[in-house]
Structure 1
Amino acid sequence: MNSILCAFCMILALLRTGNCLSCTLCLVQGTTFCTGNNVTCDNGRVCISTHTVSTEDGIKKNEFFGRTCMPQHYCNNPGSFSTDKSNSRKGISCCETDNCVPPAPILPDVSDKPNGVICKTCTADDTEWCDTKQVKKCTGDENKCIVQIATMSGAVSRKTVLRGCATQSICNIGNETVTTDGISVIVSISCTDGCKSLYRGSSFQTLLAFALFLSLGCKN
C-alpha cells in the first residue's frame, strides 16, 4: 500500500513541487531525542523535529520533543508565546530524505523589549476558555494575541487553555495533533492582530481542526 501511495505522490510531484517521504513519528517528555515507527507523509511534507520548552516564573516546567511530517514552509521557523507568568519556546528543524534525522531544533531567544502590542492574558485547567481583565505587554517578536487549547490524553491526561502573546510562526500552526507511545496531544491555536479581525492559522492536513471563533484583543 505504501509503495502505491508513494508512486502516486511521485506522479503528482511531476505536476507540482512536493515529496512523499517516510518519516519517524514520536513524542517524548523531558528529553531532546526520540525514536518511533516510520509513517508515509502526505505529498509536499518533510521530516521534522520539534523541541518545546515551557517556563513559569522563570522556572522550566515542561519540555517536549517530537518527530513527524510537516509542510516544508514551517521548517526552521521557530516561535514563542507568553502569558503574564509563563513562556513557551518552540524550535523546528527539517530534513528531506526517507527516514532522515533532522538536526537539533534551535529555540528562539527570549526578549524583554516591548513591541507595543497588548493582549489579554489568562490560564485555566480543565476548560476550553478563560476570560480576564488582565493584560500583558508583548515583547520581542510576539506581536499577535493568542488563544491556545491543549489537551493531553493517554498515559498523561490534562487540558489547559491560555491567552497571551505569540509570534506569527506559532499562529501559523493552527491545529496540531501528535499521538505516539500511549500519549495523544491535541493543540488548537487561534490568533488576532490586537484589536483587529480574527486570524486563524492554517492547519496541518493530518491534524484535528477545531472551529474556534474566539475573540481576543486589547483591553478597551
Structure 2
Amino acid sequence: MISLTGILSLLSALAATSYALSCTQCVSTTSYSCSGSSVTCPPGYRCGSAYTESSVSGERVSVSLFRACIASHECNFNGSLSIQHGKAKRVTSCCNTNHCTPTIPPFPTQSSDPNGVVCRSCISADSTWCYTSDTIQCTGDENMCLLQTTKIRGSVSASTAVRGCGTKSLCDLGGQLPDISGLSLKTEFICTSDGIRVCRVVLTPAIMCLLLLKWSF
C-alpha cells in the first residue's frame, strides 16, 4: 500500500516534469544586472546566472553577467583560467521560480601556490587559434592546460582564442550557446593535463570584455 507521503511525492515529481519554467535571458558586459526577454526552459533546466570577472596584474578590469536557462547540474559552478598577467573567474547560481533572480555567489579564494603544471600562454582577439613559446606556471586547482575558442555570429561577429591554465570544471563546459539579441555563440575547450601545450598580445580591458562573452553558456 502506497503511503500518502509517497503519493504526494509522486504527484510533485509529475508536476515538476510537466511544468515549463520561464526565465529571463540577457547578457551584460559592464555590470552584474541586465534585463531581457522571457524564454521557456526545457526539462531539467533552471533559471541561472553566470557571473564573470577578469583581472590584469591583480586588478579587476571587467565584469559580465549572463542570465538564461541553465542545466541543473551546472548550477553552483565555479572555475577559472589564467594567462600571463591575466585571470578570468566565473561562478553560477540558480533559482527555480518563473523569472526569478539568482543570488550573486562569492568568487572562491584561490591558492597562488604553484602546482607543477606549466602551460603555453597567449591570447588572440581575431581568430580561434594562437600559439607561442611563452609559458605560464599554473597555480592552485588550475591544473589543466587549456585552449578555449569562441565564435560569435550575428549582429556582431568575432573569433577569440585563449591558451593558459584552467580548472577541470572549465574543461567540462562548451557547446553551442543560445541566441541572444541576434547573437549565436559557440565555445569549445581542448584540455590536457601533461603541461606545455595559444601569440603574445597586450592584454587590454577591451580585449578582456570581448573574451568575457565566450563565458556565456
Shared topology, TM-score over 0.5? yes
Q: What percentage of aligned pairs have identical amino acids?
A: 37
- Give the distance between the partners of 1:160 and 1:56, measured in 2 at CA: 18
Q: Matches of residues 135-154 of structure 1 in structure 2 within 5 Å?
A: 135-152=135-152
Structure 2 CA distance for partners of 1:122 and 1:23, relative to 1, 3 Å: same
- Which residue is equivalent to 2:49? 49
Per-residue Cα deviation, 1:40-64 (whole angstroms, up to 9, x for no partner): 1111111111111112223333321
- Map 1:23-38 → 2, pairs under 5 A: 23-38=23-38
Measure, in 1, the Cα distance between the counterparts of 2:178 and 2:61.
20
Q: CA deviation at 1:24?
A: 1.1
Report deviation, 1:148. Answer: 0.9
Deviation at 1:87, TM superposition (A): 0.4
Higher relative CO (Cα under 8 Å, sequence separation at least 6) belongs to 2
Aligned to 2:186, what secondary structure does the other structure show?
Answer: strand
Over 3 Å counting, the alpha-carbon distance change for 1:103 and 1:19 in structure 2 is farther
Distance 1:75 1:134, change over 3 A: same
Q: Name 2:173's counterpart in structure 1.
A: 173
Q: Deviations over 1:124-150 (max 9, x none)?
A: 221111112222111111111111113
Query: CA contact under 8 A between 1:80 and 1:108: conserved in structure 2?
Result: no
Q: Secondary structure at the match of 2:68?
A: strand
Secondary structure of 2:132 counterpart:
coil
Q: Give the partner amino acid of 1:87.
A: K
Q: Name whichever of 124-133 and 161-170 sits farther off.
A: 124-133
Q: Aligned with 1:105: secondary structure? A: coil
Measure the CA separation in 2 of the matches of 1:75 and 1:176. Answer: 18
Which residue of structure 2 lines up, in the alignment, with residue 201 of structure 1? none
Distance 1:19 1:145 in 2: 41
Which residue of structure 1 lines up, in the alignment, with residue 132 of structure 2? Answer: 132
Question: Contact 1:50–1:90 at 8 Å: present in 2 too?
Answer: yes
Of 21-30 and 149-158, more deviation after overlay is shown by 149-158
Corresponding residue SS for 1:35: coil
Structure 1 counterpart of 2:69, one-letter code = C
CA distance in 1 between partners of 2:18 and 2:172 (Å)? 20
TM, length-normalised to structure 1: 0.73
Query: Residue 136 of structure 2 aligns to a residue in which SS?
Result: strand
Q: Which amino acid aligns with 1:51?
A: Y
Return the alpha-carbon distance in structure 2 between the equivalents of residues 176 and 69 of structure 1. Answer: 14
Give 5+ residue unaligned stretches, structure 1: 1-10, 197-206, 208-220
Alignment partner of 2:170: what SS? helix
Deviation at 1:157, TM superposition (A): 4.8
1:194 Cα deviation from its structure 2 partner? 2.3
Deviation string, structure 1 residues 48-89 (Cα, Å, up to 9, x no partner):
111111122233333211101111111112111001121000
Query: 1:102 deviation in Å?
Result: 0.9
Residue type matched to 1:64 in 2?
A: S
Range with bigger deviation, 127-136 or 173-182: 173-182
| Correspondence for 1:94 | 94
Q: Which has the higher helix share?
A: 2
The separation in 2 between residues aligned to 1:140 and 1:18, in whole angstroms, is 42
Asked if the contact 2:143/2:166 (under 8 Å) is kept, the reply is yes
1:73 and 1:150, CA in 2 relative to 1: closer, same or farther beyond 3 A?
same
